[in-house]
Amino acid sequence: MIDFDYQAPTSLDEALSVLQQRGDDARVIAGGTALVILMKQRLVRPELVVSLRRVPELQRLAADNGTLHIGATVTHRAMETDAAVRQRWPLLAETFSRVATVRIRNMATVGGGIAHGDPNQDPPPALIALDARVRLRSSQGDREVPMQDFFLDYYETDIRPGEVLTEVVVPAQPAGAGWAYTKFLPRTADDYATVSVACVVSLEDGSNRCREARVALGSAGTTPIRAEAVEAALRGQELTPQRLREAAQQVEGLVDPISDFRGSSEYKREMAVVWTRRALEQAIERARSGS
Amino acid sequence: MEQTIHLRVNGEAHELTVRPRRLLVDLLRYDLGLTGTKEGCSVGVCGACTVLLDGKNVASCILPAVMADGAEITTIEGLAQDGRLHPLQQAFIDYGGFQCGICTPGQIMAAKALLDTNPHPTEDEIKEWMMGNLCRCTGYYKILDSIKAAAGSEA
């Protein structure tokens, strides 16, 4: 393990001021499950690590007027077990429960995971499907970025120097909408996905016609990918099996998976189509049954 | 730069001076001599280094000890009381839940975190929870049997 200095400020203002003074020499840590491993492997060598674990304002998880506010240091385990999240954002509760193992979910934080910018992670596709936004703060003030624009490249996000990711804001999961998170895991249950798909589908009242759909994929390129072509192929359409197959086929041209030990690029591209169709089927089934 | 931290480990208060690079697993083993906690994969995947931090199972191999400042830590050495093994420890003996033993402290600490939150888990709940603790010799059925037995005995 590399040597580093460590500070644990007790307010966000104090953290921001340290980050501004130390610039590129400093890295923010939350749960540490990503950064500590990168430091052990000497891929990241910060002189100073600034912990957010003592900043109370980042620990808040609350539903206000139908909008979910997830503080940056809320753990994955809290997202999985929180009563309001389970009841009103079941897609999020399900998705966070699929991350790694309980031990890691006790440590890893929502903000830390997103700031890590690994396209193989589970939560980003679900947060994109729910139209979530990322809130960032620097000494210059706050700004918001839609989750779908936040990821720029492999391990690269829109967080600017001196900024801290403070909160993820999630609008209400549309009433009556069906949802699904499918994670294709051919190796082990605690692995990253070979490909993953999150979707939210609403139907026109009492019909089999799609009012709105949002679909996003993980492990399918250098960032999580929102599949707008799939959404367009469903919107306003009668949801026949043929229509679902045609809509899912659209992801073929959207994804750009890398070949690795989880499969070749070609294989993952085909699996992205298959698992998109399965995710849509699950979501539509939930929308119909009202669960 | 060295820092002073405060930890309660198995009920005992400690003031320790550590470099930030000191990982919790190393602090327990080398600074406090609590060698019951083992290190396996060193990247949080295998579960051998599992300890309880404020009652929650965590991977001590990827946790700098400075990040645990102020916390209550429980290790395998903290389970037996007044010379009597904890029901989970006794069950792992009675049901053959270990062979070489290196994963056992982590298995038992993970199982303790489970039974503390869910005293009577279903078999599926045990499997789901224990998924992150790997064993290379005994196999998983006897570990499952041990935890089921302990859950019964704590009823």
CATH number of the domain located at residue range(s) A178-289 in this protein: 3.30.390.50
Chain B nearest-CA distance from A281, in A, is: 25
- Find the CB nearest B44 among A1, A104, A189: A104
Determine which of A102, A105, A109, A187 to mutate to test the interface with B (most B C-beta atoms within 10 Å). A102
Decide if A42 touches B, using CB distance below 8 A: no
Which residue on chain B is closest to A38 by alpha carbon? B43
Over residues A176-228, the pLDDT tens digits come to 899 999 999 988 888 999 999 999 999 998 889 999 999 999 999 999 999 99
| A5-51 maps to CATH 2.60.120.200 | no
State the Rg of chain B over Cα.
15
Decide if A103 and B63 are in contact by the 8 Å CB cutoff: no
- Cα–Cα–Cα angle for A148, A151, A157, rounded to 5 degrees: 140
Domains of chain B: 3-78 (3.10.20.30), 87-153 (1.10.150.120)
Spell A115-145 as b/e; 16+ CB within 10 A means b: bbbbbbbbbbbbbbbbbbbbbbbbeeeeeeb
Task: Please give the backbone phi and psi of residue A232, each rounded to the nearest 5 degrees, phi first.
Answer: -65, -35
- Find the CB nearest B44 among A1, A37, A77: A37
Looking at chain A, which residues constitute the CATH 3.30.465.10 domain(s)?
56-170
Residue found by looking up tokens 């303790």 in the block: B112
Task: Identify residues of B whose CB sits under 8 angstroms from chain A CBs.
Answer: 1, 3, 19-21, 23, 42-45, 47, 50, 53, 56-59, 62-64, 66-67, 69, 110, 113, 129, 131-132
Query: Which has the closest alpha carbon to A201: A110, A96, A91?
Result: A91
Cα–Cα distance between B144 and B155 in angstroms, integer? Answer: 17
**pLDDT averaged over every residue in chain B:** 96
- Which DSSP string do the residues of B5-62 spell out, in sequence order? EEEEETTEEEEEEE-TT-BHHHIIIIIS--TTS--SSSSSSS-TTEEEETTEEEEGGG
Decide if B62 and A40 are in contact by the 8 Å CB cutoff: yes
Going by pLDDT thresholds of 50, 70 and 90, the confidence category of residue A276 is very high
Q: What's the burial of A107, exposed, middle or buried (CB within 10 Å: 0-12/13-18/19+)? A: buried
Residues in A closer than 8 angstroms to B129, CB to CB, are 102
pLDDT of residue B154: 47
pLDDT at A74 over 50: yes
pLDDT of residue A87: 95
Which residue on chain A is closest to B114 by alpha carbon? A102
Determine which of B16, B23, B57 to mutate to test the interface with A (most A C-beta atoms within 10 Å). B57
Determine which of B45, B112, B128 to mutate to test the interface with A (most A C-beta atoms within 10 Å). B45
pLDDT of residue B155: 39
Residues in A closer than 8 angstroms to B50, CB to CB, are 103
pLDDT of residue B153: 62
pLDDT at A102 over 90: yes
Decide if A107 and B3 are in contact by the 8 Å CB cutoff: no
Contact A155, A118 (CB under 8 A): yes
B119 Cβ contact list (under 8 Å, min separation 6):
B151, B154, B155
- Find the CB nearest B132 among A4, A49, A103: A103
Decide if B20 and A4 are in contact by the 8 Å CB cutoff: yes
Residue found by looking up tokens 């600017």 in the block: A160
Decide if A5 touches B, using CB distance below 8 A: yes
Decide if A73 touches B, using CB distance below 8 A: no
Decide if A24 touches B, using CB distance below 8 A: no
Determine which of B21, B26, B41 to mutate to test the interface with A (most A C-beta atoms within 10 Å). B21
Looking at chain A, which residues constitute the CATH 3.30.43.10 domain(s)?
5-51
Confirm whether pTM is higher than 0.80.
Answer: yes
- Cα–Cα–Cα angle for B54, B26, A5, rounded to 5 degrees: 85
Q: What is the dihedral of CA A43, A49, A50, A52, to 10 degrees?
A: 60
Beta-bridge mates of residue A82: none
Over residues B129-153, the pLDDT tens digits come to 999 999 999 889 999 999 999 998 6
Looking at chain A, which residues constitute the CATH 3.30.390.50 domain(s)?
178-289
CATH number of the domain located at residue range(s) A56-170 in this protein: 3.30.465.10
Over residues A126-175, the pLDDT tens digits come to 999 999 999 999 999 999 999 999 999 999 999 999 999 999 999 998 88
Going by pLDDT thresholds of 50, 70 and 90, the confidence category of residue A291 is low
> Which value does ipTM take for this structure?
0.96
Which residue on chain A is closest to B42 by alpha carbon? A37
CB atoms within 10 A of CB A158: 16
Which residue on chain B is closest to A31 by alpha carbon? B63
Which residue on chain A is closest to B126 by alpha carbon? A102
Determine which of A33, A101, A190 to mutate to test the interface with B (most B C-beta atoms within 10 Å). A101
